[in-house]
Structure 1
Amino acid sequence: MVVSYMKYDCTGVILAGGLSTRFNGKNKALLQIQGKTILQHIYDVYVALFDEIILVTNTPDEYLDWDFEIVTDIFSVRSSMTGIHTGLFYAGHPYVFVSACDTPFIKKEIVEAVLEGIHGNAEWIVPQTKSGLEPMCAVYSKQCLQNIETCLNNEKLKIDKCLRKVPTKIISEKKLLEKDPDLISFFNVNTSEDLCRADSLVTGGVS
C-alpha cells in the first residue's frame, strides 16, 4: 500500500541531543556509515512521509545547511522526554512521529505501520518488541503535552510511566516483523562497535 504524507496529519521529529562522550565528543547524527550520515539515512525516510520535519538539538549550528526546522530544548532536563516535549510543542500538526538520531536503518514501512494508528483515538502509538516498548519510534499526540510537562517539572523521566493513563495503541511485534523481518529499524548506534556493525550491515546489503 502506497502511503502519502497527506494521509496523516503528523510532523516528523528527529531527536539529536548533541555531542556523544562515547564518540570523543562527535555528533552521532553526523557519523558516517559507508559515506552517508546517520541523519541522512533518517531524513531520506522522513522526507517521503512528512511535509514538516523538525530536528530537536542543542547544537543547532551544525545543521544550518539542512532543509528542516531546527529547535532547541525548552526544558533543561537531560532526557529524551525533553526532546519529545519540544518536538510536540513546535509541531504544526496534532501528531508527531519521533525517532532518535542514531537509528540508521529505520524503515519507511515501520514508520507507516505506526502512523496507521493515528486513525483511532490513541494519543500514544508505540511499537513493542521483545525488548519492550520502543518510545523512540512512536507517534505522540499534542494531547500528551500536559502530561509530559508535568512529568518533566517533577523530574519523572520514564515516558511509559508518564503516559500510562493516556489512551495507547501498541503495535505488536508480529506486525512489525511483517514489515521488517530482522527488526533492523530498532538498531541503535551507541558505541564504536555498533558503528562498525552498521558499516558491515550496509556492506552486506541492508538499506
Structure 2
Amino acid sequence: EVLLVTNNPLQYLSWDLTIVMDLFPIRCPLTGIHAGLFHTSAPHAFITACDTPFLKKDVIRALLEELEPKWDVVVPVTQEGSQPLCAIYSKRCIKPIEGQLSAEDAKILKFYPKVKVKEIREAQLRPADPHLISFVNINTPEDLSASETMSSDDLK
C-alpha cells in the first residue's frame, strides 16, 4: 500500500496510488505523518518526505529488520540527529500526535517520549548506505546544486 499525503491532490490524480490529505489545519510534516497513519490499513507505516531523492531501499530494509511489535517508532539517528522523516511509525502514534497537533505543536520529536522508540544508529545504517545519502534533503536551489556535485560513488 502506497499513500501520498498532500494538500494539492489534483496535481497527482494521474499517479497510480492512493492520495490522502492532512486532517489538521496546521501545515507541517507531523500532520502528514498523522494523515498517513490514519489512512493506512497496516499497523505500521514507513514514512518519508518528498525532498529526499536519494533514499536507498536498503535503508528501509534495515529499519524494517529492527521493527518489532513493541516499537511505536523505528527511527534512524545520524550525526545530524534523529531522522523522523525516514522512519517507521505505528498506528499507536496517532493519539499522541493528535494531542500534540490539537495543542498546535508541530515538532515531530516532541511526541516521542509518549511512545516506544527504537533508534537505529549510524553504524547500523552505513552497510545499507555508506555515505548516508538517504538523508540528503533537496529544499533549495543551493541544495540542488550541492547534490549535483556528488560523485557517482556517493550515489551507489
TM-score, normalization: structure 2? Answer: 0.94
For residue 157 of structure 1, report the CA deviation from its aligned partner.
1.8
SS in 1 for 2:10: helix
Match of 1:104 among 49, 53, 57: 53
Tell me, yes or no, if the aligned pair for 1:156 and 1:162 is still in contact at 8 Å.
Answer: no
Residue equivalent to 2:28:
79
Q: Is 1:204 aligned to residue 142 of structure 2? A: no
For residue 119 of structure 1, report the CA deviation from its aligned partner.
2.5
For residue 196 of structure 1, report the CA deviation from its aligned partner.
2.2
For residue 115 of structure 1, report the CA deviation from its aligned partner.
1.3
For residue 108 of structure 1, report the CA deviation from its aligned partner.
0.4
Residue equivalent to 2:123:
174
Separation in structure 2 between the aligned mates of residue 64 and residue 92 of structure 1, nearest angstrom: 21
Tell me which amino acid in the other structure corresponds to 1:79. Answer: C
For residue 120 of structure 1, report the CA deviation from its aligned partner.
4.6
Tell me, yes or no, if the aligned pair for 1:126 and 1:170 is still in contact at 8 Å.
Answer: yes
Identity of aligned residues (%): 46
SS in 2 for 1:164: helix
Gaps of 5+ in 2: none
Match of 2:10 among 61, 84, 89: 61
Residue equivalent to 1:93:
42
Separation in structure 2 between the aligned mates of residue 84 and residue 164 of structure 1, nearest angstrom: 17
Separation in structure 2 between the aligned mates of residue 64 and residue 199 of structure 1, nearest angstrom: 30
Tell me, yes or no, if the aligned pair for 1:103 and 1:186 is still in contact at 8 Å.
Answer: yes
Tell me, yes or no, if the aligned pair for 1:109 and 1:180 is still in contact at 8 Å.
Answer: yes
Separation in structure 2 between the aligned mates of residue 117 and residue 194 of structure 1, nearest angstrom: 31
RMSD (Å), alpha carbons = 1.4
Tell me which amino acid in the other structure corresponds to 1:158. Answer: K
For residue 165 of structure 1, report the CA deviation from its aligned partner.
2.5
Separation in structure 2 between the aligned mates of residue 196 and residue 99 of structure 1, nearest angstrom: 22
Residue equivalent to 1:5:
none
TM-score, normalization: structure 1? Answer: 0.71
Separation in structure 1 between the aligned mates of residue 77 and residue 42 of structure 2, nearest angstrom: 25
Separation in structure 2 between the aligned mates of residue 165 and residue 75 of structure 1, nearest angstrom: 20
Gaps of 5+ in 1: 1-51
Separation in structure 2 between the aligned mates of residue 198 and residue 67 of structure 1, nearest angstrom: 28
Residue equivalent to 1:118:
67
Per-residue deviation, residues 68-117 of structure 1 (Å, max 9, x unmatched): 10011110102110000000000010101100001000000001111122
Residue equivalent to 2:92:
143
Per-residue deviation, residues 126-174 of structure 1 (Å, max 9, x unmatched): 0000111100000000001000000000112222121213111000110
Match of 1:153 among 99, 102, 114: 102
